[in-house]
Amino acid sequence: MKIKRLLYWAVTVFVLDQLTKFWVLHAIAGQQPIVVIPNFFELVYVTNRGAAFGIFANLPDPYRAYVLLGVSGIAVLLIFFYYFSLPAQAKGMQIALSLILGGAAGNLYDRFARGEVVDFLRVHWYEKWVSWGWGKTVWEFKLEWPSFNVADMAISLAVIWLLWALIKEERKTASAEEA
């Protein structure tokens, strides 16, 4: 049952990630961003040659591929070992690890099929304050999160889920030891 759960969630994330990237490559690439929520959320076509937040993007080509393959490979192996060491009743943690695995596989596929990861979700907030008398921008404030994709969302949410589960388990263990 554990292997079915792993495959179900990992494959679901991988397929959703690749389908959305396929759509982006054919509908948005080379176009202006599609504003979904003005001044907050838009669909864009951005590529990332590195890992999260562009880490390793400036490494020369042959080395970058080896580093990213090595890091991703080690992460996948650690996920597998940890996943199969979990007790059968730890279904939430199993699902979270499966989501991380599916997201890692989606981005890894991009790196080797395209040489870069396709990102397309942009969240931002811009605020300008213009002085009426002078017509100049007096104050400007920008918050922008790096563009991301479905794989990134699955990984991020699953890591938060794992941390929450580990903290919950730690508190449970501490309570049991005090009693």
Active-site residues: which are they? Answer: 119, 152
Q: 112 to each of 22, 50, 108, 154, 156, how far by Cα in Å?
A: 15, 12, 6, 20, 22
CA angle at 151 for the pair 68 and 110, rounded to the nearest 5°: 45
Output Rg (C-alpha) for the chain, integer angstroms: 20
Q: What tokens appear for 60 in the block?
A: 């020369």
* Amino acid letter for position 36: V
| CA nearest neighbour of 9 among 121, 132, 158, 130 | 158
